[in-house]
């Protein structure tokens, strides 16, 4: 019979997968105990759930089946995410879903008796702080794409592998398409989302090439993970906002803002919000195919 752990998706933080030896999740309630003189026991007043604390104890070694360049490159990428202090998606295998968290501690231990890597204990704390809309979140991070891509380009060129260089060219094209979409078509959020998905997808294809599994590709893997980290942060910003900004095009010859609200939400109540998010020439005469921005329903 197959081990149930084998059916679970891998633990990952900010899109970077890594193995663990122990994974503990602490859940608890904020509460107050009311005690009374000469009365046994007490009454527990439940306030609200505390933030989850997740602790992952990990062994990072230079050779680990199923994980390319786990140590030191993948560990370095994880530490870099922790040091940035941004909330990231932590995929928890036993939950089967991701939780938005910040890494608050990551002590590292090396041992003279074990010289192939090091032990790391990550402590993640659930973060439910209110997010800005998706375009504001993306804007702060797009500037990091080209510097990271330039480092990856240098390392891939050193490898001299034709297939890797071919995928590098496709990755650079995808980044340029994403930035063009952001600069020139920010209203069409669905297109921007699709472009950053292409960047991540092509980086995944590059990571699967045989040349990237060689010891000589350590620097290229580090550069790739650095670029991958930035791209995943942008993608996470889109999906993690409490009410993500979405895009849609009108599908009738002429619509009013009330018609749009009825179509998207089943109610005219969001008409004012739609007006605030869109520059409409005539709120009662919106032409066919007009891009409309709206906040996702709660």
Joined together, the tokens standing for residue 238 give 């889109």
281 in a domain, yes or no?
Answer: yes
Burial 160-172 (b: 16+ CB within 10 A, else e): ebeebeebbebbb
Please give the sequence-ordered ranges of beta strands (E in DSSP) within 11-87, or none if there are none. Answer: 12-13, 16-17, 22-26, 29-34, 43-49, 53-61
191 in a domain, yes or no?
Answer: no
88 in a domain, yes or no?
Answer: yes
Joined together, the tokens standing for residue 84 give 């940035």
37 in a domain, yes or no?
Answer: yes
pLDDT along the chain (298 residues), means of 10: 72 91 92 86 84 94 86 89 88 86 94 90 83 42 73 87 90 81 54 72 87 86 86 68 71 87 85 82 86 79
50 in a domain, yes or no?
Answer: yes
222 in a domain, yes or no?
Answer: no
286 in a domain, yes or no?
Answer: yes
Answer whether 0.75 is exceeded by the pTM: no
Q: Residue 71 in contact with residue 62, Cβ under 8 Å?
A: yes
Q: Residue 78 belongs to a domain with what CATH number?
A: 2.40.30.200
Q: Domain residues for 117?
A: 1-129
**Which of 85, 104, 129 delimits the end of a domain?**
129
Residues in CB range of 170: below 8 A, 6 or more apart: 202
39 in a domain, yes or no?
Answer: yes
Q: Residue 152 in contact with residue 146, Cβ under 8 Å?
A: no
**Which of 66, 94, 129 delimits the end of a domain?**
129
Q: Residue 91 in contact with residue 33, Cβ under 8 Å?
A: no
- 227-266: per-residue pLDDT in tens? 888 888 777 665 545 456 678 888 888 888 888 988 888 8
How many structural domains does the chain have?
2
Widest CA span in the chain = 82
**Which of 75, 94, 129 delimits the end of a domain?**
129
């Amino acid at each position: 019979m197959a081990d149930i752990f084998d059916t679970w998706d891998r633990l990952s933080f900010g899109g970077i997968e890594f193995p663990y030896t122990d994974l503990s999740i602490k859940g608890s309630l904020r509460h107050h105990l009311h005690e009374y003189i000469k009365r046994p026991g007490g009454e527990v007043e439940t306030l609200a759930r505390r933030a989850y604390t997740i602790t992952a104890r990990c062994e990072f070694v230079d050779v680990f089946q199923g994980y390319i360049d786990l140590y030191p490159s993948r560990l370095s990428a994880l530490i870099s995410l922790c040091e940035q202090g941004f909330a990231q998606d932590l995929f928890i295998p036993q939950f089967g879903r991701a939780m938005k968290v910040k890494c608050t501690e990551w002590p590292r231990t090396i041992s003279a008796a074990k010289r192939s890597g090091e032990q790391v204990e990550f402590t993640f704390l659930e973060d439910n702080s209110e997010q800005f809309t998706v375009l504001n979140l993306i804007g702060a991070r797009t500037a990091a794409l080209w510097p990271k891509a330039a480092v990856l380009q240098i390392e891939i060129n050193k490898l001299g592998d034709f297939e890797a260089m071919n995928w590098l060219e496709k990755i650079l094209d995808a980044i340029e398409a994403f930035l063009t979409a952001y600069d020139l078509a920010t209203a069409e959020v669905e297109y921007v989302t699709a472009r950053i998905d292409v960047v991540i997808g092509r980086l995944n294809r590059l990571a699967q090439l045989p040349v990237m599994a060689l010891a000589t590709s350590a620097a290229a893997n580090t550069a790739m993970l650095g670029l991958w980290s930035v791209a995943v942060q942008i993608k996470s910003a889109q999906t993690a906002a409490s009410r993500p900004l979405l895009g849609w095009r009108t599908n009738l010859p002429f619509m009013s803002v009330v018609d749009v609200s009825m179509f998207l939400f089943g109610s005219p109540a969001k008409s004012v919000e739609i007006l605030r998010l869109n520059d409409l020439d005539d709120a009662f005469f919106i032409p066919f195919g007009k891009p409309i921005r709206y906040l996702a329903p709660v």
